[in-house]
Each structure stands twice: as structure tokens, then as C-alpha cells.
Structure 1
Amino acid sequence: MSNYDVIVLGSGPGGYVAAIRCAQLGLKTAIVERENLGGICLNWGCIPTKALLRSAEILHYAQHAKDYGLKIAGTIEADLEAVVKRSRGVAKQLSSGIAHLMKKNKITVHMGEGTLNGPTSLTVKGDKGEEKLTAKHVIVATGARARDLPFAKADGNKVWTYRTAMTPPEMPKKLLVIGSGAIGIEFASFYNDMGCDVTVVEMLDRIVPVEDKDVSSFLEKSLTKQGMTIMTGAGVEDIKVSDKGVTAKIKAKDGKVETSEFSHCITAIGIMPNTENIGIDKLAKLDRGFIQIDPYGRTKSKGLWAIGDCTPGPWLAHKASHEGVTAAEAIAQELGNKDVHPHPLNRDAIPGCTYCHPQIASVGLTEAKAKESGHEVKVGMFPFIGNGKAIALGEAEGFTKTVFDAKTGELLGAHMVGAEVTEMIQGYTIGKTLETTEAELMQTVFPHPTISESMHESVLGAYGKALHI
């Protein structure tokens, strides 16, 4: 029997980061993983999807070379097999990087299925048979998986989840995407850029429904202009699968039900936590399968912690990593380390990024949520058409929107759509963490020429001081 200070169950961006921070704090640490180090994010999620989307972006630019005064001789076409191969290579490189980090930090890796026997002990079944592990603390970081539609189970053939969509057996000709959250809209954007006829069906009244209404509206217009069919306030009532493809009954906003044919379908309607069959049912409080935790990751059982996608949302890799560090430091503190000072997660300062074309990014409250919360608001919007760098890049579509509390000047939220916004949102996120007001943002010198100047102008605009509009 192996005994540790901390065992982490799951090696995604929550689990492996938690393990590294535990090791840095001098704790004897092990990690248990049933499939691939790096979890879904590195192997089947965040990273390889960005590699796919980068290929689609390059294809888009090549097809529009003449807009930049360039001529490309011959036809430009996508080689799906080569695009997927590149994406898998990126995933493999990063997964092997995690193995190196485990070795460097002297973290013991146990490959196999882990099951809790109690709050601080588990059994691992792997290639080497069965082994019992015990620890002073256990962190559960088992993540989540795609939710299936009851009448459209993913078969990897015609009905896909993100996993098949990343390594497609064939190029879809006519694709139905059910759900317009980040995953659905990213794959819709990828396949649309790759030349596929794409229809997106969203049950709610707008796409990317967690985003600010102005962002949703702008993105819908942009994707429609790119040739996508967007159906909001609509539902897929039934799907029939055959060798030829998918026949879907879709109820539109006006109540009419029409039957449409598609070659393939991607379901992106949310996630299910991986909390079945790991022995946690009696050890922690579960709500629809998600493990309930305190702000530091503690469950109701002493010594048992949980982080990431198997806990309440937002279900984002960077939130999981942050929770991993918090839990590791709280454990070290409990074990007598007086030099660590863990802080609970501030959910209002977690940025969200969606890598469709155009990109969207946000942090904090939407304008509507701010008003619902009782704030009197000042709102600034600045379009990219007034930004020199965006025009020079040929990417003048988009805007930056900031929401402030009218009485205190507190930055409540920021919402962006357009080129490179997923890189820029961190400026506002730092501002939120530092509890900034409009005064500091106005006094900040933004470099020229950059798209980030739209952030400054948006802040100025909220107070009637915008210079370039």
C-alpha cells in the first residue's frame, strides 16, 4: 500500500496543476489517471480545437488573399486528414509535456481507474492490476463529458460529440449543430470555414446565450453573413439516423415543425460530470451529479476535496486550474504550512473565451445582469471600425463594450467580439481582480497602434469622452 500526503484523481488542467502546486509546497503527491495525462483539455478539448480553428483561419485568409493585395496561384483547398493530423500532433506534444512536469516535480503517476474507498483512500485498477493508495487528503478532479440527447445518442458515425468532431471519419457536407455554447459555435465556425453547409439550432432566443446580448446579436449577423443558417428559439424534436445521414425534425420559433436532411450532426448541449462509479456518492453532497464544495474545494468529508468540471460551473479549464492551486494551498495550510494564504475564487473575475470567427471574450456581468443586480450602469461601446490597427489588419468587424457602476465607477463587466479579443480580455480581468474603476483605466496608457486601444476608447465612451468616434 502506497501512502501520500495528497492524491489527485484526474490529470486535467485542474488535477495536474493541483498536483504540481502540492509538490511545490513540499507535499508527497500522486496523481491517478485512467486515460491521458492532461485530460480532456489537452487531448480532446481546448488545445487541439484551437489547432483546428487555426487551420481554418489560415484557409480563410488564403481564400481572401486578394483583399490584402495578394495573388495565390492555383486552387486552395482543405486537406482534412492533414489538418486533423496537425491538431493531434499539438495534443501529443502537450500531453508528453505534462508527463515531463510530473517527473520534474517528483509526482508519482498511477495509470488506471481510481475508486474511492473512503475520503482519503482509493483503489486503482490498471495494467499492473489493483493497488491500494492512501493519503492525508484526496482531490477529486474527474472532469466531465458531453451530454447526449436522449433521442440522438452519439454514435461516432453520423451523430458526433466534440470528440468525433475533432477526428472526423469524413468531411460533413451538410452539418447540423445542436447547441450554440462555446463548443457548438467553435465547431460550427470550423466546419463552415472548411466549406461545409452548417445549420445551428439553439433552444434559447439567442446564440452564445451566456454572453452579452449585443455580442450575441453581432455574432449571429456575422455568422449568417458567412453563410451559416442560425435558428434560435428552436428545438430538435427527433433525429433518425441512416447510412446516408441524419433526418432531423426541427421546431422553429414560429412553432412550425419541418424535417430536414443533414449528412452529420454534432450535439453540444452541455456536460455531465464524471462522478458515477468513483465511490463518491456517500462521501460528498451531489447536485445533478456535480460535487458541492466550499470556496476552497472542501467537500462534506474531512480530507476529501473536489475541483474543476465535476464541481459547479463555470466549466472552464482556467477555472479548474485556479481551483487546483487554491485547494493545494488550503491543504498545505491544514498540514501546518504557515506561509501559504489561499484565497477563494472570485467568480465575477473569470474570463470566458470562444474561438469562433470572429472571436468573442468577456468577463464579469453583462449589461442586463448588472441592471438585474440593482446597479445603475454606465456603458461604453467602441466599434473596431474606429481602430487603426483593426482596419490595417483587414479585421474592422467587432466592438468592445464596458459596463460600469454609475455611482462608484466599479468595472462590472467587459464584452468583446472581433479579432484577437481572446488575448485582450485579460487586461479587463486584471482590472477586475485589482478592483479598478474607470479612473485608473482612463489614466492607463494603451500602446498605439493596437486593437487594445478599443478597450480604452470603450471606457472613455462610457463617460462621454471617446476620442475616435
Structure 2
Amino acid sequence: MSDTSFDIIIIGSGPGGYVAAIRAAQLGLKTAIVEKSYLGGICLNWGCIPTKALLRSAEIYHTMQHAKDFGLSADNISYDPKAVVQRSRGVSKRLNDGVGFLMKKNKVQIIWGAATIDAPGKITVKASKAEGPKGALGEGSYQAKHIIVATGARPRVLPGLEPDKKLVWTYFEAMVPEAIPKSLLVVGSGAIGIEFASFFHTMGSKVTVVEVLPQVLPVEDAEIAGLARKRFEKQGIKILTGTKVSKLEKKADSVIATIDDGKKTEAVEFDRVISAVGVVGNIENLGLEKLGVKTERGCVVIDGYGKTNVPGIYAIGDVAGPPMLAHKAEHEGVICVEAIKGLDPHPMNKQMIPGCTYCNPQIASVGLTEAKAKEGGREIRVGRFPFAGNGKAIALGEDQGLVKVIFDKATGQLLGAHMIGAEVTELIQGYVVAMNLETTEAELMHTIFPHPTLSEMMKEAVLDAYGQVLNA
């Protein structure tokens, strides 16, 4: 096999791409990964990781402002926005370097440039403006028995809400603000919009969130979303649902937004606007149309193993459709590669993919919402346990929140779990494991959870669903 010929070539080095490359190398497949911008993709460089670094700074700032609640004293609390951003960028760089190390360790060849698929098994790479890592191959023609598209997604742009990088931001600009705006409009209340709303509010912005759908956090369980809205509004974030932004008028250093709730319109001035109306897959300029690869709603159509309708071409991660989450991309990459190798992996089950939103309070969920379970015609049992009944939550000063579980009444199957409160993004995995093991309420009831921990609420919620709750 020549230096330009591989078993697998992966286009895109985000979480799906680089994890797929590592797994392929572990399985003895000669592997190359093509990247044109930065190793680690959007997640490590402009998404999941740097936003969590920003939110951590906001969390500490918030706690310092409430030091008196813990018997402590902290005077003249302030922050340096440039230093906050610099820390976030430093975290990203560390992980970016880490991906390069992993590629080298696993003997994955990096090809630096923009790839086009000429035919099944053949790609052409053109030079990239960005500088590639040492040892990377460059432009030229390459061959592989299997080509995996892992090109990710980019912010969706709506007419009239086009970002300009100065006044109207996407998450790219929102992550590196030169200063914290005094007033901010966030369009869209999904995870991205709500996380930025939470960050900028904590750092001092007057934040308004506009959502066209009737529910904030539209994919979440309605009860959890309702509690979240109450908490956001109590903090001072203005939430407008069933509302759209019909027009943006840009001034020298501010934007006038026309806000329409279907009954009246109102023109409101904001320093900055964040457009967080979703993302769309990067399917253009890859040669997919010419090859007849099926796409739908801006994403590549695949089966449960990452296969497209064209033999030898696969897709994983955001480019392959929702839910557009890094951990979904990683798992999808492993499934795809193992299927190529003939290991017969389980196909992707999207009901088992947890979702996490790192706002204040945190939100986490997996499986069916209560409404979806009822829509499916199931008879269900629902259990709830409040943070106010948990000793560890009270000791932490985090007694506002809820754990909610949904079971099939006939079988005891755990259908879904939904949480709001401190550290629920760390707790949710317990229910994910339970669902993957096909655990019923009986196993969860007989599991001993350590005391005092927030995790005890997970068992109490199960007990509540069956009329046996102990501490509420």
C-alpha cells in the first residue's frame, strides 16, 4: 500500500472524526484523517469545551458574589473579560494539541487541506490557508477503500439575522467578546442560546431570549423546561416564547430588533445580538451531489452504522443529522469503523443519547419525555424528587432542582430521565447506563447509593414512581 493509499480516510477531525480514526487504527486499518482548519473540530476549538471554560468562570464569579451565604467575605469582586476569554482559548489549545498527540501515538496520518470526493475510493485534497501540523501530508490525490465524512456543522443563518461578526454574533464571536455588552438579545433557546444567555447574564449583561416555539428549551421535558424558565426569569433573564425577531436594524454600535409575538410588534435596542437558531451540516463542496449521496434537510442520510446510499461512503456526527452532540459523533464513529471491520456492533440507538445544557441551573436528560411517552400510547409511572429534600444539595447551597423519571407501567422499563439543578450533567450518566442495561425499577431500588450525595435523588425519584419515596 503506497503513502497515498489507505484502508480508511476520514474527512474532518472533530470528535467523531478523530475518535473514528483512533478506533480504526486500533483495529489494524491503515488510516488517514483530512483537516483544513484545526484538529479537534468545532467542539474542542469553538464549541463544547471553550464554552464550558467560560461558564466555569461565570460560575466562580457568581459564587464569589454570594460568599456571604457561606459565611465568607469577598469584597470588590470583579473580572477581566480578556483574561476570561484567554483562559478559555488556552483550554482549547491544550486539547487541540492533545488531538495531534493522539494521532501521532496511534499512527494516524494527517492530511492537511480541503477534501473533495471524486469517486468512491478516491479523494483530492487542495491546500488550506491554515498551517498544518508537522508531518502532515498536503494537497494531492489519495485512495481509500472506505471514506467517512465527518465535516460537522456550522451556525444556521436566517434571512434578516445574518451575522456580521461585530453587532450580530454566532457562537464564534460570542466566545471571544472584547467586552461584555450591557444589553444582549439571544435569538433561540436551545442549548447554545441558553448557555450564552446564562454566561452573559452572570457577567452583567441585561439578557433577553426570544424563542419562536411555545416552550423554552424545546427538546426538553415540558415540566423541566417550565422550571428552568422560572429560574431564568427569577435571575433576571427575560424570556419571550412564541415570539420571533422579524427585523434587525444596525446602528453604529447597537442593533434595533423588531420583536413580534403575533399580537404586537416592538422595537427594542440592544448592544449585541447572538443568533443561536441551530446548525446545518457541512455537506457542500465535498462532491456528494455529483456522486448521488442522499441528503435531507442539510444533512447526509445514513443507516444505524453510518452507511450512505453509495457503497464505500459513510457519514458520522453533526453532518449526519441530529442530535448534533459530540458524544453522539464519537459513538457513531466507533460504530461505523467497527461495522467496516466486520465486528457486528449494535446500531446507533438515539433514545440512549443523553443531552446536557450547562446553564445555571444545569439541565440533563435521556430518553422519552413524559409527553412523548404518552403520545406513544404507553401507560407510564412518573417519579419526582426535589433537590430541597436532599442533604448534600442543601449543604452545597443548591436546594433548587428536580429529578424526574418515567417508567413503563407494565414492564418497569426506564423510558426516560430528566433533571434540573446542580451537577445534573454529571448525574445523568447513571440513568444512561441503567437504560443500556435494560434495568427495571427493581434493580434501581435495590442499588445502594452513597450518602450524602446528590445521586441519592436518583433512587428517591424511582421510589416515588412506585409509591415508596423515603425523604419527601
Tell me if both proteins adopt one fold, taking TM over 0.5 as the criterion: yes
Aligned ranges for residues 352-371 of structure 1 at < 5 Å? 352-371=355-374
Letter of the 1:100 partner, please give it: F
Larger CA deviation: 276-285 vs 61-70: 276-285
Aligned ranges for residues 53-72 of structure 1 at < 5 Å? 53-72=55-74
Aligned to 1:269: 277
Aligned to 2:53: 51
User: 2:238 matched to 1:238?
Assistant: no
| TM value normalised by structure 1 | 0.97
The structure 1 segments of at least 4 consecutive aligned residues displaced by more than 2 Å after TM superposition are 127-130
Aligned ranges for residues 369-388 of structure 1 at < 5 Å? 369-388=372-391
CA contact under 8 A between 1:383 and 1:397: conserved in structure 2?
yes
Structure 1 gaps of 5+ residues are 334-339
Aligned to 1:5: 7
CA contact under 8 A between 1:157 and 1:169: conserved in structure 2?
no
User: 2:230 matched to 1:229?
Assistant: no
Question: Which of 289, 307, 312 lines up with 1:298 in the alignment?
Answer: 307
Larger CA deviation: 126-135 vs 316-325: 126-135
Cα distance, 1:288 vs. partner?
2.1
Distance in 1, matches of 2:360 and 2:10, equals 37
Distance in 2, matches of 1:200 and 1:351, equals 24
Report how many residues are paired: 461
Aligned to 1:396: 399
Cα distance, 1:282 vs. partner?
3.4
CA contact under 8 A between 2:111 and 2:138: conserved in structure 1?
no
Cα distance, 1:111 vs. partner?
1.0
CA contact under 8 A between 2:328 and 2:353: conserved in structure 1?
yes
Distance in 1, matches of 2:419 and 2:40, equals 29
User: 2:165 matched to 1:175?
Assistant: no
Cα distance, 1:119 vs. partner?
1.9
User: 2:426 matched to 1:423?
Assistant: yes
Question: Which of 143, 167, 191 lines up with 1:134 in the alignment?
Answer: 143
Structure 2 gaps of 5+ residues are 129-136
Aligned to 1:112: 113
Q: CA RMSD in A?
A: 1.0
CA contact under 8 A between 1:7 and 1:31: conserved in structure 2?
yes
Question: Which of 243, 248, 256 lines up with 2:257 in the alignment?
Answer: 248
User: 2:449 matched to 1:441?
Assistant: no
Cα distance, 1:17 vs. partner?
0.4
Question: Which of 238, 242, 266 lines up with 1:258 in the alignment?
Answer: 266
Cα distance, 1:343 vs. partner?
1.2
**Equivalent pairs: percent with the same residue?**
59
User: 2:221 matched to 1:212?
Assistant: yes
**SS of structure 2 residue aligned to 1:14:** helix
CA contact under 8 A between 1:114 and 1:278: conserved in structure 2?
yes
Distance in 2, matches of 1:252 and 1:294, equals 39
**SS of structure 1 residue aligned to 2:74:** coil
CA contact under 8 A between 2:112 and 2:138: conserved in structure 1?
no
Deviations 1:221-244 (A, max 9, x none): 001111110001111111111212
Deviations 1:148-171 (A, max 9, x none): 121121111010000100011332
User: 2:32 matched to 1:17?
Assistant: no
Letter of the 2:45 partner, please give it: N
Distance in 1, matches of 2:412 and 2:259, equals 46
Distance in 2, matches of 1:152 and 1:72, equals 41
Question: Which of 329, 332, 351 lines up with 2:354 in the alignment?
Answer: 351
CA contact under 8 A between 2:81 and 2:178: conserved in structure 1?
no
User: 2:169 matched to 1:160?
Assistant: yes
User: 2:458 matched to 1:455?
Assistant: yes
CA contact under 8 A between 2:180 and 2:204: conserved in structure 1?
no
**SS of structure 2 residue aligned to 1:282:** helix
Aligned to 2:204: 195
**SS of structure 1 residue aligned to 2:344:** coil
Distance in 2, matches of 1:462 and 1:192, equals 36
Cα distance, 1:129 vs. partner?
6.2
Distance in 1, matches of 2:348 and 2:122, equals 27
CA contact under 8 A between 2:126 and 2:138: conserved in structure 1?
yes
Aligned to 2:94: 93
Aligned to 1:79: 80
CA contact under 8 A between 1:48 and 1:90: conserved in structure 2?
yes
Question: Which of 302, 319, 323 lines up with 1:314 in the alignment?
Answer: 323
Cα distance, 1:312 vs. partner?
2.0
